[in-house]
Amino acid sequence: MNAIQGAVIDIQTECINVLAAAGFKPDPAKKQLLDAIKAIVGNEVPAASTTQAGTVKLSSATDSDSETEAATPKAVKAAMDNAKGRAPASRKVNGHPLTADVNVTSQDIFDQQAVAIGPVTDLNGIQSPGIYACLCTGETKNAPVNNSGNLLVYRTNGIQRLQIYQPLYTTDVYVRYFQGGSSWSGWVKNYGCISRDEADARYRLPVGSAIAWPSDAVPDGYAIMQGQSFSTATYPLLAKAYPSGVIPDMRGWTIKGKPASGRAVLSQELDGIKSHSHNARAQDTDLGTKGSSSFDYGTKSTNPTGGHAHEFGGYINSYWGDSNHTSFQPGSGAKTQAAGDHAHTVYIGGHEHTVYIGSHGHVVIVDAAGTAETTVRNIAFNYIVRLA
């Protein structure tokens, strides 16, 4: 064996020892030496700690309390970003130190936070969000009332703003909104802080009232009164006025105050006129005796025909009533002498007639007049009722 062969054998022996020390079984098909060396080196170097040097594991966690791991740049950056957003403990929020959680109440926000401004010349110029104590005088422009008060300016987006004004010593509230440019809507008054039911009781007609409406288009929440049924469960306030669940039909009807007696509420009364009589007569007059018109008819002639004769006969008795005296009895056919055709004249002359009229009266007939029903001059409205 020469020197080279001896050196090779030594190297092989050392490699086998390294593999054995690392716990590897020699295998010519695998490259095991490097892995064995790494294993031996790793087992020999301890993990680093606060008391000894060694290997260190890197970590990007920002909530770990390990003392054997090292922070990566990522973890360091997260920690720095968090630190930049932190306020120093010496600072305070609304008088509260930042040494612990700060509980800010509504009183903390509103107590003495109104910005006193005044005297105000024009409320249109106050557009920055905030709470303002305004001193308004008679010269203040665009104020809802001539009274100092509190003004809340609220901004909902880039240009939209809302102003709410509450005069001092009242519960009245006025609201308006900004329309852009220099234009604001008109102030709308809310009459104090009351419930809807109380507002209805104060400022609206009771539910069930018949309301004259000048249109066939009915507003939302209302219905034309035309005899229809409704749900008493859905509209309980309306049911108090009409427990039957039926709205009266007001088409063609008017409303009349209920008399002291003799009528029930919602009872109907047909059209009519008060019972009465008429005195009618023709004027009396005495026409007396009137004459007809006079006329002279002159002398008139009768018809010139008619010639004729008369038969006659007789019986003559003795005056003395004895046989010594004769009687004469003409036979039949004895006639008078014929008169022949002739004419007469009759004088009529001027004359007149009188007609008695006297005192008298006449029967007078009064004809029917008027329309189909009794009514007054009127304008047609729809009666509507609120549904509630």
- Listed by start position, the domains of the chain span 3-41, 110-193
297 and 350 Cβ atoms separated by less than 8 Å: yes
Segments of the chain scoring below 50 in pLDDT: none
Write the CA distances from 207 to 57, 148, 202, 221, 250, integer angstroms. 81, 37, 12, 11, 16
Q: Are 177 and 185 in contact (CB under 8 A)?
A: yes
Helix ranges restricted to H, the chain = 3-22, 33-44, 73-84, 106-110, 196-203, 236-241
The two counts, helices (H) then strands (E), for the chain are 6, 22
The DSSP secondary structure of 317-363, one letter per residue, reads --SS-STTS----PPTT-BPPP--S---EEE--EE--EEE--EE---
What's the pLDDT score for residue 253? Answer: 93
- For residues 211 and 203, is the Cβ–Cβ distance under 8 A? no
d(CA 269, CA 235): 28
Pull the structure tokens for residue 210: 């018949």
- pLDDT tens-digit series, residues 95-109: 667 667 777 666 566
- Residue 325: which region, alpha, beta or left (left: phi > 0; alpha: psi -120 to 50)? beta
pTM of the complete model: 0.39
> What's the sign of the alpha-carbon dihedral 136, 140, 141, 144?
positive
Q: Are 332 and 295 in contact (CB under 8 A)?
A: no
Using an 8 Å Cβ cutoff, are 126 and 152 in contact? no
Q: Is 106 helix (H, G, I), strand (E, B) or coil?
A: helix
Burial category of 136 from C-beta neighbours within 10 Å (exposed 0-12, middle 13-18, buried 19 and up): buried
Write the CA distances from 100 to 68, 89, 92, integer angstroms.
Answer: 31, 9, 11
pLDDT on residue 34: 64
At residue 30, the pLDDT reads 67
pLDDT, position 383? 97
Q: Which two tokens stand for residue 302?
A: 């009768």
Give me the residue label for tokens 């001896």: 6
For residue 96, give both structure tokens: 């509260």
Q: What is the pLDDT of residue 296?
A: 76
| Measured CA distances, 110 to 104, 114, 131, 281 (Å) | 11, 7, 9, 92
pLDDT attached to residue 341: 79
CA distance 173 to 176: 10
